[in-house]
Structure 1
């Protein structure tokens, strides 16, 4: 069901809609009403009561006034002492219109029920005296129908009965001395029923300097008058006085004001009925009546408030506990269309500011807010803290006026300015749909700006922020996420113990941001953290982080090489990862690298590396701040010190996560052998590892194993297959086991074994079967030394151990068994004829005649022919010569090195001698200068001979 926005239910008064309200319209002026010059909303009794909500306190006061005027009891003296703007003048206006009797009770909304409850048929019309401390002047007289009035008691008497009443106090007025209690009692009795309303009494009395006499008397004579008047009122049943005294020190006006207040409180204290007129809940109706027309669609209001209430109940953990109470639904309805949280913040927090008027200040501010929201087309369901349009200059000025200096840049940068960070954050569509960042910022500002120096626990917690922001139908997690984002980037937002507040001092984030500029070299810190992350090593003998190729050993151990951030990898972008990795793969410094199949590379992600650099700089900045705090180089309060420590811990957690997200690529070099086409160029397989793994090295190892890149367990059938493909070729039917291992470490087209143990276990397992290979510890002529097949032995790997083709091994094994049988028979006296060839020539143990000829073997000659290769002469020396054209000699020599010389360099048991012969001729001859250049350069390059000769 769609719930309506506030603008479709509650229509503001015309002056609020048009923005024509003025501050004076919100300041009820008792004197202007008495003089008949006030605006109709205050001067007309009927209109005044139509816009006035009679609070519980006001109802009790009006009841006392009615009874006192009727002579049926009531309080003779009532002191209205509330904070600045607390509604005391408005209360006096209510008493004024009631007592003056200018309008019948039936036309004053809400009064009939009060009169009926008092049990009075009619309220007598009373004489009303208004004494305004801001209107009276201690040293100025004023004329009333030719009579010169000097003092407050002279003005009181004249308003009661003009000249006749003035004569009671004439002498006292002229002399500036207080009339006695008896005179005042007689005066009040003569002209009762009467009501005396004294407003801003302290403002009048504080003008009297001690020891000086004015036209209005002295400070002491005026205090004596107040004392006498309060005593006289007790004696006159139909006379009463209401006097307003300030509660705020801002209204006292200095030492004289405090002295006046202390004296008045002592005198009023004996006869007063102290009353505080406006409770917070009652302020709801006061503001609504003043700013909005009557709301007639009660059903729509009920639906909106119920939607909010259900939101709070269904997400109880995210909102303050008070929202779970049944009465909170009533508060929502009472305050509608303004959310009760707005009133709570204004009345609890902002009213603590000296300049903020409790009722008038709220009315003035909310009138401007509602006008702006109406013109902007705001469609919120209720007006919440987060709806305050702080980007509007008029609203902003109104709020900043009550705060100390320095809040403009806070609002402009961190809350709701055109260049505010919150606007940037809201450009993210996830947050922008709700304007989440600005709504959160406004809520925090409203709840924390006036209280950062007044509360023992600063700021507001997350539950109250959500209460000020979230509307029915919205996702709460969006606001939680944006709050975390704001905590990371805003300059004036502070977060201490999960309580958020704005302050005019930049938070430590600005200090941190400035320090980040110092840390330009982040590679060393990344290296340190990578070393900790990869410290377990797992399957790798060595982990080389940002290590130059010359310092990475070229041996048979498996090694993980971590490339520096400059070698980041991306599938889509051009990058240096494979270029740098290939250089390390092929060279150890300036020398060729032979064990290429023992290197695997870990590289950073091209897009994530910048985030990692940024997070590293952040950590280093926080570390420097915490260090400076400990060494007293940075003077911060305890809250900021704790915040710095918390930010350091948080940034370290971010670095750990970002580091794993960045270094997520494994680059594995490989080559493929194609039938008839040789071996391909080196290629690179990129594999991504999971960044959220608890142990990065475990994840790397598992990934390599799962993808078959690293073999930790090898079956003999796979070794047999490799031997058949690469080692048992042509007439060569055995291979040196150690040489096979070495070549698996060197060539990228061969399997990559974890270590020699894996290889050794495959051999031990294979020799137990007849299907894979035989093993021997050497060969002399046609005889294998230490031959084993289908035996459970532990093979020793050394330079002489041979792996024999299974067919050859099986034939050799058969012959050996036959020879053994012959020897056994001879020893037993038997007569066994040795196996011969067709021409009666004896054959070797493999079934091959001792001349190198082949013949079928086996009892029925059904096995395929096998060849036992004759011993070949080993070639131990190579000599080559090539002539290079002078135009391409440099390029051609490099090619010769790569294609020929690099292979000789891999043979560790030999030497390579390279001699360069240069023969050059010139028809014109070489002059002395040219010869000198050649000789000097040749000497520098260690030429053994540099000679020029005549032809």
Structure 2
């Protein structure tokens, strides 16, 4: 309810009999004959005081009373001029109600509120004779007993009601079934003030015209004669008033009247009699319409409510005027709302009913023959009011959508009672009650909000009952009938669209929504679902879940683990999805992690040892309440698949049904994938909080259509990021040393990295470059020393920045510890050797000079390697004897193989001046030979040689291998690297053979192409390779750096190096080609 408006339960007071509910027809149906003949059994209408209290003084009723009693009082002018008055129908009746009012006042009743209805000076002081004859009460064959007198004709009954003298005067005319003349009638009235009321004359005409008694049939022609004579008498006698109701185009019995001649099957007497009667009346009387359309709401309000707060009515009018002014720009309003100011006044006037409620009852349902407009509307709205006061709903106004079809009396009144019984089942299955399809939409789509689907569908339902052309509700109609102040009409559009997906009888033709009694495509699919075996549904559902939980974004999925051994205890994030048959949780009790989750977090391996990397596992558990919905979506997909793959069956459907079936099939896979995310929504991730068993619970947000391009794993990763569990900011070096170093003075990079996966308080380190960058900052700014034990190289603030690897062979020291351990030096470079050579340098002297220069004694092999490279470049000459003329210099192989202790090292100029015979150096290779090992080791060796070569790199080839027993993990990792490579051209080559479980032979895959094309194909190749029982082969990524190439300091090379190290394939081969 809008906060700007009060609920009607605080502004209106219903009448007690309305609140009691279950009101009978007698309480709403005005029956003149019962008031006359059985007043004790017809209390509501026979008790004049109560009758007038419940009656709204319409303009027509006041006019009828004024003219009736004004004539009897001898008032001059229009109020006294007409002796014959015709009461015409509006809104089902006002007519009979008005006749009862005349009858009560003519009989002498003087209710307390009589002043609201007429000027009491017009009421007679003396007695008035009254006859009220209802045509359908007459019995021309058996006779009708009144006051102990029996009559068989209309005039005979008038005499019986006026008294014995009148009856005696008309007895012979009654016996002969012949209309009495005016003098006989005057004698019967005896000169007394008289009111004669004749109701339902058309029904009486049908009765006599169709009688099996010939004399009765002949009397049909006497009815217009009687009326003519009676009218002439009344027009000439100011003490006589005749009030007659004759069916017209607006009357509830207009259909019977207009068809009277046809129903006589050629017998024209009735048609002629009716035409003559109407003609007589049109010449003699004054037509009075008891109630206008504008007074309908007042009639309903007066009968159903004791009091209505006028201030609340004004507030509602202003609020709804504002609403329709606001939405009028986007909704083509009709029904009067296109003029918001006037419609706001209409809202205030009809409050607590919305004008659209009155319009639908009057104009839409009122056209259904069996819906009595006055009686039907009053009885229906009495049920609606009783229902609202019995329940908890407190709407701001009673609109069409507030009619609760879940209330059986209300539903029966709108279906069975008006010959629309088939619609009762439609309502029950689609929109009435907690088991309906619309209720399911409201629970799933609009939790904690108004039931928009049920409200909009209720409005559409009432617009669907006419069963004629143009039936149903367009946008203006369901918006007017459903929208409350403060709501957006688009939410109703969405609600109906969602309802159409599940309802069995709701359709949309592009313009109007409508409920049919025939089933729609949803029902056809529902029937087909019953043919799908449950075993197949379970199999397909679990296959879909497994497909949805594929490794992605650097996160590994573990689907349906059977024990802790199913989840490796490794420092890499894994998302564990439980089989819903093994474990699911109720939404209301999901905050605490189930014991199965805790056990798998705590234990690892077949022996159940303690899990070391507890921060590396995140768990996803199905919602118990959503499992069946997921299986139902899968069942629907299978049923639709069965339909579209059976051309013969599909051909039996209409074109629009076939189109809809194909559309639903196209959507079914998407809907099933969405259902997976809505089912597997309970996520438990590690935290440092003993009160929650160190596992926090969050729910995945409900997936929409646009989200399905993302894997569930990626969605979970985003959830962890949003919850602040994933580190995205740079790591402070002081914090890192205090928290993650194994010892205050030293650690390994692997142990630092592992700490993030061991400590449940740590943020997940999904981007390892954050750690490598922090280590580089520690080296540059905090005096850390990075030492690669494989290459025996140390890096400090004064050296080149290392390519940091997170491995056990990469050590970190404080500066003090590094000095103590003697690891601060570095291996000599070619430049170091050239700078350290002086005239007549020997091998031991050069080694000593390099130790002083590099702060570490180099190995003899390291010195020999650099001397060989210097010789190859023509910069130094080496002999193993005292250099002199004719002495032959050593070649590359000899330099590497002979003892450094006997070397003499000369510059090229010195050697030439001494006459040393120089060996011929082979030209430097343009290739960097394959470096194989762990990713970090291979890349470091490759990087070092590239630096030593001193030439740009034009092409780089990275190869990983899949071998039996190892699986495609390294291929997956290098494949992930493809998307992160620099913009240089790249080519991917894959050559693998795979065997599948239970099948003979192998699948061979040999593909080569651009990296972008490979990325497109990898989504198909990945699942295939994962499904393989054994796999053997390679994946090579070839990067083209162009003619100019790159060096180790270029961003392109650094990016490749960083990405590959971060992903960490277990074995990598790197090769290169130089410029």
Q: Same fold by TM-score, threshold 0.5 exceeded?
A: yes
Change (3 A) 1:219 1:271: closer
Aligned-pair CA distance for 1:729: 11
Change (3 A) 1:28 1:458: closer
Q: What corresponds to 1:89 in structure 2? A: 96
1:155-554 equivalence runs, <5 A = 155-160=157-162, 162-163=164-165, 166-167=168-169, 169-180=170-181, 182-183=182-183, 186=186, 191=191, 194-208=194-208, 209=210, 212-214=213-215, 218-230=219-231, 233-234=234-235, 236=237, 239-245=241-247, 247-248=252-253, 258-259=263-264, 260=270, 263-272=273-282, 273=286, 276-295=289-308, 297-316=309-328, 317=330, 320-321=333-334, 322-323=336-337, 325-400=340-415, 401-428=417-444, 430-448=446-464, 450-451=465-466, 453-454=467-468, 456-472=469-485, 481-497=494-510, 499-516=512-529
1:845-924 equivalence runs, <5 A = 845-846=891-892, 848=894, 852-854=898-900, 855=903, 857=905, 859=907
Asked if the contact 2:33/2:132 (under 8 Å) is kept, the reply is yes
Aligned-pair CA distance for 1:289: 0.7
Aligned-pair CA distance for 1:280: 3.8
SS at match of 1:391: coil
Aligned-pair CA distance for 1:132: 1.3
Asked if the contact 1:137/1:204 (under 8 Å) is kept, the reply is no
Q: What corresponds to 2:575 in structure 1? A: 571
Range moving further from structure 2, 198-207 or 51-60: 51-60
Aligned-pair CA distance for 1:285: 0.8
TM-score, structure 2 as length reference: 0.52
Q: What corresponds to 1:16 in structure 2? A: 18
Q: What corresponds to 1:797 in structure 2? A: none
Aligned-pair CA distance for 1:338: 2.4
Q: What corresponds to 1:838 in structure 2? A: 881
Deviations 1:386-430 (A, max 9, x none): 333333333333333224233343333322335334444454594
Paired with 2:115 and 2:435, the residues of 1 have a C-alpha distance of 49
Paired with 2:873 and 2:431, the residues of 1 have a C-alpha distance of 95
Paired with 2:189 and 2:493, the residues of 1 have a C-alpha distance of 68
Deviations 1:851-884 (A, max 9, x none): 744446562999xxxxx99xxxxxxxxxxxxxxx
Paired with 2:646 and 2:64, the residues of 1 have a C-alpha distance of 62
Paired with 1:225 and 1:629, the residues of 2 have a C-alpha distance of 72
Change (3 A) 1:522 1:243: closer
Asked if the contact 1:13/1:291 (under 8 Å) is kept, the reply is yes
Paired with 1:464 and 1:235, the residues of 2 have a C-alpha distance of 53
Q: What corresponds to 2:139 in structure 1? A: 137
SS at match of 2:178: coil
Asked if the contact 1:202/1:261 (under 8 Å) is kept, the reply is no
SS at match of 1:32: helix
Q: What corresponds to 2:46 in structure 1? A: 43
Aligned-pair CA distance for 1:506: 2.6
Asked if the contact 1:206/1:256 (under 8 Å) is kept, the reply is no
Paired with 1:512 and 1:66, the residues of 2 have a C-alpha distance of 68
Aligned-pair CA distance for 1:63: 4.8
Aligned-pair CA distance for 1:378: 3.5
Range moving further from structure 2, 216-225 or 142-151: 142-151
Asked if the contact 1:337/1:382 (under 8 Å) is kept, the reply is yes
Aligned-pair CA distance for 1:282: 1.3
Asked if the contact 2:356/2:481 (under 8 Å) is kept, the reply is yes
Asked if the contact 2:401/2:481 (under 8 Å) is kept, the reply is yes
Change (3 A) 1:490 1:471: same
Deviations 1:59-104 (A, max 9, x none): 4444544565446455554444547833321121233345x17246
Change (3 A) 1:646 1:352: farther
Asked if the contact 1:369/1:395 (under 8 Å) is kept, the reply is yes
Paired with 1:63 and 1:641, the residues of 2 have a C-alpha distance of 65
1:720-735 equivalence runs, <5 A = none
Change (3 A) 1:275 1:726: farther
Within the candidate set 39, 55, 74, 2:58 is matched to 55
Paired with 1:146 and 1:614, the residues of 2 have a C-alpha distance of 73
Asked if the contact 1:437/1:483 (under 8 Å) is kept, the reply is yes
Paired with 1:188 and 1:8, the residues of 2 have a C-alpha distance of 57
Deviations 1:833-867 (A, max 9, x none): x97543344224549559744446562999xxxxx
Q: What corresponds to 1:154 in structure 2? A: 156
Q: What corresponds to 1:634 in structure 2? A: 652
Change (3 A) 1:651 1:15: same
Gaps of 5+ in 1: 530-544, 547-559, 577-604, 668-674, 687-702, 709-723, 731-748, 750-768, 772-804, 822-833, 863-867, 870-895, 900-907, 909-951
Q: What corresponds to 2:727 in structure 1? A: none
Paired with 2:223 and 2:190, the residues of 1 have a C-alpha distance of 23
Change (3 A) 1:565 1:78: farther
Q: What corresponds to 2:709 in structure 1? A: 660
Paired with 1:506 and 1:198, the residues of 2 have a C-alpha distance of 48
Deviations 1:185-218 (A, max 9, x none): 7559964754321112233232333673457963
Whose strand fraction is larger, Structure 1's or Structure 2's? Answer: 2
SS at match of 2:12: coil
Paired with 1:76 and 1:856, the residues of 2 have a C-alpha distance of 149
Deviations 1:888-946 (A, max 9, x none): xxxxxxxx9979xxxxxxxx9xxxxxxxxxxxxxxxxxxxxxxxxxxxxxxxxxxxxxx
Asked if the contact 2:506/2:516 (under 8 Å) is kept, the reply is yes
* CA-based RMSD: 5.8
Change (3 A) 1:282 1:135: same
Aligned-pair CA distance for 1:242: 1.5
Aligned-pair CA distance for 1:286: 0.5
SS at match of 1:15: helix
Deviations 1:792-846 (A, max 9, x none): xxxxxxxxxxxxx999998667646659x9xxxxxxxxxxxx9754334422454
Change (3 A) 1:143 1:9: closer
Asked if the contact 1:493/1:502 (under 8 Å) is kept, the reply is yes
SS at match of 2:158: helix
Asked if the contact 2:867/2:895 (under 8 Å) is kept, the reply is no
Paired with 2:144 and 2:25, the residues of 1 have a C-alpha distance of 29
Structure ID, larger Rg:
1
Paired with 1:192 and 1:857, the residues of 2 have a C-alpha distance of 156
1:33 aligns with 2:35: yes
Aligned-pair CA distance for 1:150: 3.8
Gaps of 5+ in 2: 265-269, 549-553, 568-573, 581-619, 674-704, 717-745, 758-765, 772-786, 794-808, 810-828, 832-860, 911-920, 923-962, 967-990, 992-1075
SS at match of 2:299: helix
Asked if the contact 1:154/1:173 (under 8 Å) is kept, the reply is yes
Asked if the contact 1:248/1:354 (under 8 Å) is kept, the reply is no
Deviations 1:446-465 (A, max 9, x none): 333x13x22x2342245543
Asked if the contact 2:431/2:438 (under 8 Å) is kept, the reply is yes
Asked if the contact 1:770/1:806 (under 8 Å) is kept, the reply is no
Aligned-pair CA distance for 1:152: 1.7
Deviations 1:30-59 (A, max 9, x none): 133345826564335454333222334444
Paired with 2:539 and 2:890, the residues of 1 have a C-alpha distance of 67
Paired with 2:431 and 2:272, the residues of 1 have a C-alpha distance of 43
Aligned-pair CA distance for 1:162: 4.4
